[in-house]
Structure 1
Amino acid sequence: MPSYDRADKPIHEPRQLKVICIGAGASGLLLAYKLQRSFEKFELTVYEKNEDISGTWLENNYPGCACDIPAHAYTFSFEPNPNWSSVYAGSKEIRQYFVSFASKHELSKYVKTRHQVSKAVWDEIKGVWDVEVANLADGTIIRDSCDMLVNAAGVLNAWRWPTIPGLQDYKGTRLHTANWDESVDLTGKHVGLIGNGSSAIQVLPAILPIVDRVTTFIRTPTWVSPVQALESRKYTDEEREKFVNDPQTLLKYRKELEAGTNGIFPLFIADSAAQKATFESMSAIMKEKLQREDLENLVIPTWPVGCRRLTPGVNYLESLGSSQVEVVYGEIQKITEKGCVSNGQEYPFDVLVCATGFDTSYKPRFPVIGTKGKNLADAWKFEPKSYLGLSVPDFPNYFTMIGPSSPIGNGPVLIAVEAQADYMLKIMNRWQTENIHSLSPKMEAVEDFIAFKDEYMKRTVWERGCRSWYKNNSISGKITALWPGSTMHYLEAIADPRYEDWNFKYVGNRFAFLGNGFSQAESDKTADLAYYIRDKDDGPLISRVKQMKVTSKSGSVSLENARDVIVV
């Protein structure tokens, strides 16, 4: 058992903290930034399997790949980008945002690319994670260890081929949107496109100008409409120049977009006024763009808006009605050497494009072994259960970025990632400044949270009759991906750790952190020993309600411009 002797040190003297993060996408880079900004005496290694940083935005480079929310609402809260070229930025532009973020804050020193974590085992005696890492450049195996292990590999990261019989029999060129081969020339080709999720919706209009024709296979209808009714367009030179030279104009615009994205949440409540109004308006918009009654019956859902993730679908509906496009509705029975068989008919083509998504079971792709040899893949075999999307019982000092039950489809996502990083660092701060061996959420706390979540989901559109990755690509399964509330609800829910929900294990006396009786201020020769004396009370408010009124700038919106409060 390790020993943390603090007898000769002031209260809360930090010990060395070693963190391993898996993945250098948006979440991993943010964790590195926040750890660097707030901590001393730490060591961080971010293992990234790809040849460079930025995760999904490096991996996804299929034609038309773009963010499905406005780009100015897809930045870290503190790191605006005045140079977005359009409302919905493409993947390469988004990737450059994260590359620039890493460069600006000198985060690359923490990252080891082409290194893939292959195993992680908790050592109960030492209180560390033993981590096995494959060096993909030379095939060697590295053995590392850490006090805190953060899995930031992402939820939409493990792409998969469709489970359709005969896939391997196809003799033409086969592509997956998440593993796109840019050397393949689609010019003049007949393309078969499987799927009508976000990726397929972006691919179709992007390839249509160069291909001869497309046969697109659609299994279910889906809602297609711009977020907040914001159609895609390029920003003018004048707009971009103003964003660069007038930060307040940019801030105002960003806040409007963010508030609009947060304001969408009421439509996710089944049978709400917002849901009913949105259903009618989106149906009308889709009909106007399709201009074909036969396609309306195939494409426009009868289930509520938001049951599946919404997508802007720039020019998708218009493309479906093109003379170059053949829409085949229904299940694909099998894939042959020449094409796909659906409804008993074979449809041949030159190139097969599978926009068939990802493994969203949340099970890690490598063994994660916690206390008493428990494997996380086994624990999550039937249902992935996390504590507030952040951590797992029986897996001490282990955290998940955007784990199960996170607000990944409830509103703005990057601010939720920021909140998760802050929460993890609060836990790490306690570990670093106290005699804590390890900590993990209590099983009963997780079970209570899951029970609350399941009951809440009954009132939402996510439980209605659509196939969605929110419920592991099923129609009637449990909602395992989403938070039971809005993104803003999540920010308040995890603002302060509920330490009563955690099992703490100490080394020696839990009050050993009190040390030699001196404060941190007294041990700093440059500190003000009367820092608490002031001429007015500017200290933080104690009650949550008053804190939030200050944080949310209550009263800053005039009553004339105040929104209606949605009560469901």
Structure 2
Amino acid sequence: MSVVTIAKESHKNPDKFRVDFKDADSVLGPKASVPENETLPTLYTSSKVAIIGGGFAGVSAGLTLLRVNKEPDFVVFERYDEYGGTWYANTYPGCASDIPALWYSYSYELNTNWSRVQPPQYEMEEYILTVVKKYGLHKHARFRKAITKVQWDDTESNWKLYVRDLTNGQLIIHTAKIVITGHGGLVYPKQFECKGLENFKGEYMHSALWRHDVPLKGKNVIVIGNGCSANQLVPALLKDCDVKSVTQVVRSKHYIMPRVPPILYTVYSLLAFSRFGLLLVRLVVALLAELRFPLFKGDGIITNFIRKVNTAISLKYMKKQTPEKYQDIVIPDFKIGCKRMIYDYDYLPTLHDPRIDLRADPIDHITEDSVVFKNGDVVKADVIAACTGYDLNKSFYSYDIIGRNGVNIADVWRKQGPSAYETISIRDCPNLFVLGGPNSATGHASVVMAIENGSTYVSKVIPKLLDGTYKSLVVKTEKYNEWFETAQKELKKTVYGSAFGGCHSWYANEQTNSIVYPYSQITYWWRMEHPNFSDYEITLNEDKKKL
């Protein structure tokens, strides 16, 4: 375990740490498609382990294989031309980590010189690339490659990954004993849909597919949405991009917490010379966040007290910082935590800027140069920026997974709901492990910490697959179903997008909640540290006898 220090090159040249828009649009845009060129010969490649995705999860998987399992025979398939995932693709003005970066980073590679508690996108990307370079992960990368299908071979007991080269459409069939997926959930933009948008003569873009070539100075910008992305985008438009006006269409309400206390960065800066000091600050941040977990679940005395305290803190801050004319638009009335809480950086104070106008009225239609609201108001628009979130279903079903005996996991998930045993293993999928997958997220913790915990779990279950003792390892179907049923039962007691919480959110749909972890992060850490091998069917290589 060690530390890293980034060069801060990203502050001088942020464009170097952003995906090219054309590359991103070809993968995530409304007209995205995977090219196929059957005139080129099929390439056949192999490795012991295949990793899908080059973001925080994919990098974590690679680092774990090198550091813990001492396994160098792996490849990482990534659709972009560089590592980083979300932090390479999401580049809208103001984009930054929404929680302290000391916690939103790898515990074994802590950064000594974050520029602020919640650093900007390009600095987060530079951190990832600094770690990637340190461990030589570029030699394992297969960039501009898209997975279309992964299929288990019952005869050979390995996986066939069907891969397309995004530059020329060539098919690559890659064989691997183990597959680790880390392609993420908040990936595909949910595009804004409205009558007349196709006739708009200005510029339209989603926050997840930002066009930096579009001039914003002196423009009238319409921002659709007011979640985490909009909370960061709106202040940047006004202060950094010098727009003429911002009209923000508020579609739902959110609890906004005060910004992270500046004392945290002071303490971090004082202790940054020591790895022990950095770990101590990280531990304090994690424990303070974990103390809030009870507010998300149940209706007991302690739960209600913590919920009441956090609600009071948020409402006091929101009422103090929000102009009175907007308070009815932005201040929520559901249980805190039902939607992800937002740590404010500069959003609410920005609402006092005379150039901004908040509107709760829905949009009726769009003309060539204006947005027309249901109440008849017409607002001139040069740019429409959609902060409308992500299509989670598309992420779950972004490529086909065909398990043993030809089981199509998409069919299983459509009937039951996306799930993975202990967030890691999918039924009928031997030797396949998921990082950052179904039910691994939380409303109060760091997703990178969850990914790291998942990587620990994987590192503990794969050694005998790597050395050939095990031919295959797959979660028992009854244990998979038991986990799913127990998790969903527990999640019904929580505030996440449920009747109990009193709101609708991206955490859950009418049937299932496939996003949130049902227990505390301390529980998650413990369970990831202690895999239960009795919940798996294990086939030995020697006699193929199941344990």
Normalising by structure 1, we get a TM-score of 0.81
Paired residues, number: 490
State the secondary structure of the residue aligned to 1:71.
coil
Deviation at 1:247, TM superposition (A): 4.0
State the secondary structure of the residue aligned to 1:39.
coil
Q: Hey, what's the Cα distance between the residues in 1 that align with 2:166 and 2:487?
A: 40
State the secondary structure of the residue aligned to 1:72.
coil
Q: Hey, what's the Cα distance between the residues in 1 that align with 2:419 and 2:370?
A: 40
Deviation at 1:235, TM superposition (A): 5.1
Q: Hey, what's the Cα distance between the residues in 1 that align with 2:362 and 2:457?
A: 44
- Which deviates further from its counterpart, 310-319 or 35-44? 35-44
Deviation at 1:459, TM superposition (A): 2.4
Q: Which residue of 1 aligns with 2:26?
A: none
Which amino acid letter does the alignment assign opposite residue 290 of structure 2? Answer: N
Q: Cα deviations across residues 266-301 of structure 1 (Å, max 9, x unaligned)?
A: 221354210011112211110000131x31111111
Q: Which residue of 2 aligns with 1:9?
A: none
Q: Cα deviations across residues 488-536 of structure 1 (Å, max 9, x unaligned)?
A: 11111232222222223344425899xxxxxxxxxxxxxxxxxxxxxxx
Q: Which residue of 2 aligns with 1:18?
A: 48
**Runs of 5+ consecutive residues of structure 2 not aligned to the other structure:** 1-45
Q: Which residue of 1 aligns with 2:527?
A: 493
Q: Does 1:452 align with 2:486?
A: yes
- Contact 1:119–1:133, Cα closer than 8 Å, also in 2: yes
Quickly say closer, same or farther: Cα 1:233–1:329, change in 2 above 3 A: farther
**Runs of 5+ consecutive residues of structure 1 not aligned to the other structure:** 1-15, 514-568
Quickly say closer, same or farther: Cα 1:121–1:250, change in 2 above 3 A: closer
State the secondary structure of the residue aligned to 2:257.
coil
Q: Which residue of 2 aligns with 1:274?
A: 306
Q: Cα deviations across residues 355-398 of structure 1 (Å, max 9, x unaligned)?
A: 11111124231222223333333322252122111121122222
Q: Hey, what's the Cα distance between the residues in 2 that align with 1:251 and 1:494?
A: 20
Quickly say closer, same or farther: Cα 1:232–1:245, change in 2 above 3 A: closer
Q: Which residue of 1 aligns with 2:462?
A: 428
Q: Which residue of 2 aligns with 1:399?
A: 433
Q: Which residue of 1 aligns with 2:286?
A: 258
Q: Hey, what's the Cα distance between the residues in 1 that align with 2:479 and 2:370?
A: 50
Which amino acid letter does the alignment assign opposite residue 423 of structure 1? Answer: Y
Quickly say closer, same or farther: Cα 1:136–1:246, change in 2 above 3 A: same
- Contact 2:268–2:278, Cα closer than 8 Å, also in 1: no
- What percent of counterpart residues are identical? 30
Q: Cα deviations across residues 140-181 of structure 1 (Å, max 9, x unaligned)?
A: 222211011111111111223124344333221011111111
Q: Hey, what's the Cα distance between the residues in 2 that align with 1:407 and 1:443?
A: 23
- Contact 1:286–1:317, Cα closer than 8 Å, also in 2: yes
- Kindly report the root-mean-square deviation, in angstroms, between the aligned alpha carbons of the 2 structures: 2.4
Q: Hey, what's the Cα distance between the residues in 1 that align with 2:542 and 2:511?
A: 46
Q: Runs in 1 of length 4+ with deviation above 6 angstroms?
A: none
- Contact 2:323–2:351, Cα closer than 8 Å, also in 1: no
Choose the corresponding residue for 1:192, options 194, 210, 222: 222
State the secondary structure of the residue aligned to 1:133.
strand
Q: Which residue of 2 aligns with 1:224?
A: 256
Which amino acid letter does the alignment assign opposite residue 47 of structure 1? Answer: F
- Contact 1:308–1:466, Cα closer than 8 Å, also in 2: yes
- Contact 1:162–1:356, Cα closer than 8 Å, also in 2: yes
Quickly say closer, same or farther: Cα 1:251–1:423, change in 2 above 3 A: closer
State the secondary structure of the residue aligned to 1:245.
coil
Q: Which residue of 1 aligns with 2:538?
A: 504
Quickly say closer, same or farther: Cα 1:445–1:246, change in 2 above 3 A: closer
- Contact 1:309–1:409, Cα closer than 8 Å, also in 2: yes
Q: Which residue of 1 aligns with 2:471?
A: 437
Q: Hey, what's the Cα distance between the residues in 1 that align with 2:468 and 2:117?
A: 47
Choose the corresponding residue for 2:104, options 55, 74, 79: 74
Choose the corresponding residue for 1:370, options 399, 403, 406: 403
- Contact 1:47–1:111, Cα closer than 8 Å, also in 2: yes
Q: Which residue of 2 aligns with 1:298?
A: 329
- Contact 1:364–1:376, Cα closer than 8 Å, also in 2: no
State the secondary structure of the residue aligned to 1:381.
helix
- Contact 2:361–2:374, Cα closer than 8 Å, also in 1: yes
Q: Cα deviations across residues 47-68 of structure 1 (Å, max 9, x unaligned)?
A: 1111111111000110000011
Q: Hey, what's the Cα distance between the residues in 1 that align with 2:452 and 2:86?
A: 18
Normalising by structure 2, we get a TM-score of 0.84
Q: Does 1:39 align with 2:76?
A: no
Q: Hey, what's the Cα distance between the residues in 2 that align with 1:106 and 1:150?
A: 19
Deviation at 1:127, TM superposition (A): 1.0
Choose the corresponding residue for 1:204, options 226, 231, 234: 234
Q: Hey, what's the Cα distance between the residues in 1 that align with 2:200 and 2:502?
A: 32
Which amino acid letter does the alignment assign opposite residue 519 of structure 2? Answer: G
Q: Cα deviations across residues 311-358 of structure 1 (Å, max 9, x unaligned)?
A: 213221122343211211143344443343332434331100011111
Deviation at 1:246, TM superposition (A): 4.0
Q: Which residue of 1 aligns with 2:512?
A: 478
Choose the corresponding residue for 1:342, options 359, 369, 373: 373
Deviation at 1:20, TM superposition (A): 0.6
Q: Hey, what's the Cα distance between the residues in 2 that align with 1:263 and 1:213?
A: 40
Deviation at 1:411, TM superposition (A): 1.8
Q: Hey, what's the Cα distance between the residues in 2 that align with 1:115 and 1:501?
A: 34
Q: Hey, what's the Cα distance between the residues in 2 that align with 1:22 and 1:247?
A: 31
Deviation at 1:248, TM superposition (A): 4.1
State the secondary structure of the residue aligned to 2:396.
coil
Which amino acid letter does the alignment assign opposite residue 148 of structure 2? Answer: S
State the secondary structure of the residue aligned to 1:327.
strand
Q: How does 1:86-235 map to 2 (within 5 A)?
A: 86-209=116-239, 210-226=242-258, 230-231=260-261
